[in-house]
Structures are given as structure tokens and as C-alpha cells.
Amino acid sequence: MASVTRAAFGELPSGGGTVEKFQLQSDLLRVDIISWGCTITALEVKDRQGRASDVVLGFAELEGYLQKQPYFGAVIGRVANRIAKGTFKVDGKEYHLAINKEPNSLHGGVRGFDKVLWTPRVLSNGVQFSRVSPDGEEGYPGELKVWVTYTLDGGELVVNYRAQASQATPVNLTNHSYFNLAGQGSPNIYDHEVTIEADTYLPVDETLIPIGEGAPVQGTAFDLRKPVELGKHLQDFHLNGFDHNFCLKGSKEKHFCARVHHAASGRVLEVYTTQPGVQFYTGNFLDGTLKGKNGAVYPKHSGFCLETQNWPDAVNQPHFPPVLLRPGEEYDHTTWFKFSVA
């Protein structure tokens, strides 16, 4: 069983409203989620000794989330990841988005779903957030009704995303939590063992836009089908880090996506999803300038993201999984974050 408590988290400037915090608690997990960006602000998991640590990067106060920061814990939309040159066509009409990560549009634009106040509804074992993204918001066509639901079941945090559109629009929703299974504030993730269930990945150009079809991971640095220790793996392959889409099973059913094991604490995170891809990101752009919870600083490689989603720039790449949502259809995807100890 899970319990849910709600409390004020902070006030938005110039009468923008009250941000609330919802604490979901089971015998194994405690998760804090705020109504600003549906953001996971804390996630406490026990280690094999039974000691709980917060394993997500973030801030103790609302001010931290309102400053320029790299999407810690937030829901990303209307379209997660990059859209090449911020342009796309739907049914012959061209749309132009803000270029907020030169030369592309990233994570929904200047004021994406991570930078808005959502309307919460408490459930018996979780919380559902909803909002209506108006026609033309951030340059996207049509009105989009969105529901993001977090529920807790023992050691599993389940995130469901639903959306309905008034006209054809690309939709790609994810959560951008940064994890460190040693506990947030630990200096790096090099001692984490990572497995990703993907036979192919998407090579990218220098602006991180996919080029061509998926490439086989076999014999490359992207072969994570068997566990690799991250630090050693990055060193062996002279990699700056990962920021790549791994292509998962094409099925709409729940499938295994990734497993991360932190041997020292025993903590394990397994990710399952209905999505066709996962962006594995190792915090390459973190630079230690942000002050996080309990005085933590977040240097490069101090957290990792497993952003389950459609493939980047799918709206411009016809051979990628379909990303357009049309009136009368429903976008419905779920990701499961399952925590345990080994």
C-alpha cells in the first residue's frame, strides 16, 4: 500500500500560483513530486543495510527549479529531445519552433511542459497532473490535453502519460530525472553497472540530430546488452559520455529497457516501458555550478538519465516510429521504475 500526503512547496513569483508537493510513500520507496513541471524532487531508496538515500538530483526549494537548470526531474513536452532546426511539416504545413539549443529546438521549447504549473488530483496510491496546452503553444499546432499520473506500488514508481489533440501534432513525453544510486551529491556514476536492452542505437551529427537508420551496437561502445561498469567503459572507448537514443523493441506492450546496479550500496534500478526508445544521458553538460539539495554540487557525470521516449527528430524522419497524434486518437505510454537491492 502507498500513502499520499500533500503540502505547499512554494509560491510562484508575481502571483503565478502555489506549487504543491505530493509525497508518495510505500514500505520501500518515498517519492516527492511537485506540481511545477510534474517534477520528481526526491526519491528515497534503501540500500542493502536498510539505509535510505535520496537518489535523484535536484533542489530543496522552488527557487532552484525556477532558475536555469537542466530539467532535473521534470516532465518534458510537447516534444522531448531535439527537432532539427526547429522546423517540421504536418500535412504540408510548415511549423517553426524556438531555437533554444543551437541550431535545434530542444525539449518542447523555451517554456516547455517542465516550466508550467499543472493541476493535481490526489489518487489512493499516487497523483495525477493535468493541463491543456493551448493551440500554438511554443509553435506547436492544435490544443493538447495532457494527463501525467505517478503511482507507487511497493518498490515500483509507475509513470503514465496520456494526451489528446484537437489537430495533428507531434507528441513525445518523458521524464528527465537524473539518478545517482550512490545517493545524490555523490561525485560521479563511474561505479554504476549499466545494461540497456537494445540491438541498435542512433548515430548522431555534431548537433545531436540522428543521421540515417539505427546502427547495430555489436562491436561498438554502444553495446550495453551485458552489464558494463560505466567509468571503465567510458575510459576504454575514450567517450565523453552518452547522450544517445537506444532503439528498443517496437512493441506497444511493456518491455524491459535498462538495468543499473550500484554494487557498493546494492541498489538496483530496472526500467520497463511501452516506448520505442530510451535516451541514455550521463550528465555530460553538468559542470558543478548548481547548488543542489543538502549543499550538493553536481559536476559532470554525477547523474544519469534514462529518458524513455520516441526517437529524436522523429517528426522529420519518416522511417522512425510515428510521432504524430491525430484527433480521435489517444497518446498513452507508461514507464516503470523498479527499485530493489542485490
| Catalytic residue selected from 107, 270, 307, 333 | 307
Q: What single-letter DSSP state applies at residue 204? A: B
205: three-class secondary structure by DSSP: coil
> CA-CA distances (angstroms) from residue 99 to 4, 84, 106?
39, 9, 8
**Residue 82 assigned to a binding site:** yes
SS3 content of the chain, % helix, strand, coil (to 5): 10, 45, 45
**Residue 177 assigned to a binding site:** yes
> CA-CA distances (angstroms) from residue 155 to 17, 50, 73, 125, 270?
33, 13, 18, 13, 10
* Residues 6+ away with beta carbon under 8 Å from 15: none
> CA-CA distances (angstroms) from residue 36 to 33, 40, 167, 274, 340?
9, 10, 26, 25, 28
**Residue 176 assigned to a binding site:** yes
Q: What are phi and psi of 4, to 5 degrees?
A: -130, 125
**Residue 32 assigned to a binding site:** no
Place of cell 550512490: 182
**Residue 178 assigned to a binding site:** yes
Per the structure block, which three cell numbers stand in for 45?
A: 531508496
> CA-CA distances (angstroms) from residue 232 to 153, 188, 214, 221?
34, 12, 25, 11
253 is catalytic: no
| Catalytic residue selected from 176, 261, 301, 333 | 176
**Residue 191 assigned to a binding site:** no
Q: What single-letter DSSP state applies at residue 301? A: T
For residues 159 and 42, what is the distance between their CA atoms, to the nearest angstrom? 15
238 is catalytic: no
Q: How far is CA 33 from the centre of its chain?
A: 14
232: three-class secondary structure by DSSP: helix
For residues 227 and 306, what is the distance between their CA atoms, to the nearest angstrom? 15
- Active-site residue set: 176, 307
Known binding-site positions for beta-D-galactose:
81-82, 176-178, 243
Known binding-site positions:
81-82, 176-178, 243
